[in-house]
Amino acid sequence: MIEPEKVSFMEKLTRWDARFNLADILRKNGIRTVAIYGGGRIGRFLAKRILQSGDIQLKCIIDRNRELQFPFDVPVVHLDDIQPSSYRAVNTFHLGYKNQSVCMR
């Protein structure tokens, strides 16, 4: 019996992005300005891909941690400091117990 390949979630996400390209999906849907909910590993991955696109503006990272140090020059906004009606989720990755959203203002 052949063992299935064990691949981390981040590797799966990297493969997905190489195949479908998040920036292209945003462009095709007319989205040029985004905010990311969650500044963890996946949030950093999404931010890097968006910033590499060159033509999609990353407004901020929305996170519950007020002390979050984000590796890119992007403001971090606490979840309590935004008005939910000013953002709408356009893509959500369900990760078991977490959700990661790319939002549009």
pLDDT tens over the chain, length 105 residues = 666 667 787 788 888 878 878 888 888 888 888 888 888 888 888 898 899 888 999 988 888 887 888 778 888 888 788 776 666 555 444 444 344 454 444
Q: Is residue 96 part of a domain?
A: yes
Q: Is residue 57 part of a domain?
A: yes
Looking at the 3D structure of the chain, how many domains does it have?
A: 1
Which pLDDT value is given to residue 86?
62
Q: Is residue 2 part of a domain?
A: no
Q: Is residue 1 part of a domain?
A: no
Which pLDDT value is given to residue 5?
67
Which pLDDT value is given to residue 96?
41
Domain of 86 in residue numbering reads as: 9-104
Q: Is residue 24 part of a domain?
A: yes
Q: Is residue 83 part of a domain?
A: yes
Q: Which residues of 54-85 are buried (b: 16+ CB within 10 A; e: fewer)?
A: eebebbbbbbeeeeeebeeebebbeeeebeee
Which pLDDT value is given to residue 94?
42
Which pLDDT value is given to residue 104?
46
